[in-house]
Amino acid sequence: MSLISLSHVSKTYPNGHQALVDVSLAVDPGEVLAIIGPSGCGKSTLLRTVNGLEPVDAGSIVVNGREVTSGATKLKDVRSDVGMVFQSYDLFPHLTVMENLLLAPKVVQGADQAEARERALGLLERVGLRAKADARPRELSGGQKQRVAIVRALMMQPRALLLDEITASLDPEIVREVLDVVVGLARDGMTMLVVTHEMSFARAVADRVAFMDAGRIVELAPPEEFFAAPRTERAQRFLNQLVF
């Protein structure tokens, strides 16, 4: 049974831009799906519809048995199952790293703070940032902030992660430290939808690659097939413009 499924999903913004056009997709537990394509093709919108940040005009989205597009579904329950990490970190600047990590488990889940703190310390250890537990975001590098943002999402113990261009705002020399965390999560079987411009990363980590253009999924294939011999002319042109 798929953990995440989209069926004939369409989304048009008030300015008339069709961000998603009849998108159908199923992601199995433990699968890593890389979503690639030109800027403005609908990649980020697709992610935002999965956890209800963007309403859709048509179609249905089901996450872990809950229909996101149903008015009867509580979005806080969906967002407990699906964590999201943005490129902009979105850490609270006035809180320490630990306070940032404990906030959502306390407010949303009513978690025991001692247990949550132990979980946070373990996750910080995993990403090499245990020593930064009492630091504030301004004291961290961009790569460190993004690793904290990933830990914050993991604090909710989600079934899946949505990663939206999490290396886009980072200097090239520190991209690797963030991608290594994602590689580790993939090895542990975390289900992930990863919007990325890092083609070598998508090629190495993804189980499948979804290539989008103009709001549609144009190709969906294992990375070894997609990067070696894309079937559509549009995907061929896209890859021919890249160096990776």
What's the rounded mean pLDDT across residues 57-63? 96
pLDDT at 244 over 60: no
Q: Which domain holds residue 169?
A: 4-240
69 CB-near residues (< 8 Å, 6+ apart): 55, 56, 59, 60, 61
pLDDT at 89 (0 to 100): 79
Bridge partners for 193 per DSSP? 33, 162
pLDDT at 243 (0 to 100): 57
pLDDT at 196 over 60: yes
pLDDT at 239 over 60: yes
Instruction: Report pTM.
Output: 0.91
Bridge partners for 111 per DSSP? none
What's the rounded mean pLDDT across residues 25-38? 97
Q: Which CATH number fits the domain that encloses residue 36?
A: 3.40.50.300
What's the rounded mean pLDDT across residues 88-106? 91
pLDDT at 6 over 60: yes
Quick: pLDDT tens for 145-168. 999 999 999 999 999 999 999 988
pLDDT at 107 (0 to 100): 73
Tell me how crowded residue 239 is: count the other CB atoms within 10 A of its CB.
16
Give the number of domains in the chain: 1
CB environment 66-82: b (16+ within 10 A), e (fewer) = bebbeeebeeeebbbbb
Question: What is the percent of the chain where pLDDT is above 90?
Answer: 78
Quick: pLDDT tens for 68-82. 988 777 888 888 899
What's the rounded mean pLDDT across residues 206-210? 97
